[in-house]
Amino acid sequence: MTNSLVGKVALVTGGSRGIGAAIARKLAGAGANVAITYVNSRSKADEVLADIESTGRRGLAVQADSAVSADVERAVRSVAETFGKIDILVNNAGIFPYGPVEHVTEDEFDRTMAIHAKAVFVAVQTAVPYMGEGGRIISIGSCLVERVPGPGYSLYSMSKSALTGLTKGLARDLGPLGITVNVIHPGPIDTDMNPADGEGAEAEKSLTAVGHYGTTDDIASMALHLAGQTGRFITGASFAVDGGYVV
């Protein structure tokens, strides 16, 4: 298996549902022991944990709010203490603020930037001492970084755009340690947060070249590519997995 992750340890933030859960399952299926973080739903986290353990791998679910730096640090250290190391860090936790820029509150601004940018920085800073040669850092961005099709996305697009600059800088900082850093920008993906049959879905589909939503497995497959041996010479890069949303 080209991308076997046997013996590897992965942490996926926001891994109890949607894209994060799909990535957690995909990495476990490739042989990794996988930890996830969740905010509120322990039951959903337990479902993902059961799927991870059904592959014969070890799993761990840690309650942590990515808006709180202390929670992020605690989660990373808990994973490292449990498994002895961290090989793969997937920064997936996210929210979707939407609305006119003039209505954005300072609290909403701070929480969005804390989850989408600061939490990634803190997680990387905390995880790197537990990573070695071959470490992988993967962040989940958004197609709205490069194409904003209408009003109401300013805060979200700005917060996700921060990941591109952070990824490029970290690639330079961590390359000498043998650690790669990349970001995936999903397009419309069928999840609870953005269902393919939901309100506004037809408009979203029309913005893609392929005319339909993607699946969480589309994103998970790219994450596996970057996490495995096939990703060893890829760093500082951004990958659009968006059905041609930004074409």
Q: Which amino acid is at 79?
A: V
Q: Which residues are catalytic?
A: 156
Q: What DSSP assignment string belongs to the chain?
A: -TT--TT-EEEETTTTSHHHHHHHHHHHHTT-EEEEEESS-HHHHHHHHHHHHHTT--EEEEE--TTSHHHHHHHHHHHHHHHS--SEEEE-------S-GGG--HHHHHHHHIIIIIHHHHHHHHHGGG--TT-EEEEE--GGGT---STT-HHHHHHHHHHHHHHHHHHHHHGGGT-EEEEEEE-SB-SSSS-TTSTTHHHHHHTSSSSS-B-HHHHHHHHHHHHSGGGTT--SEEEEESTTTT-
Strand partners, 121: none
136 vs 128: CA distance, rounded Å? 10
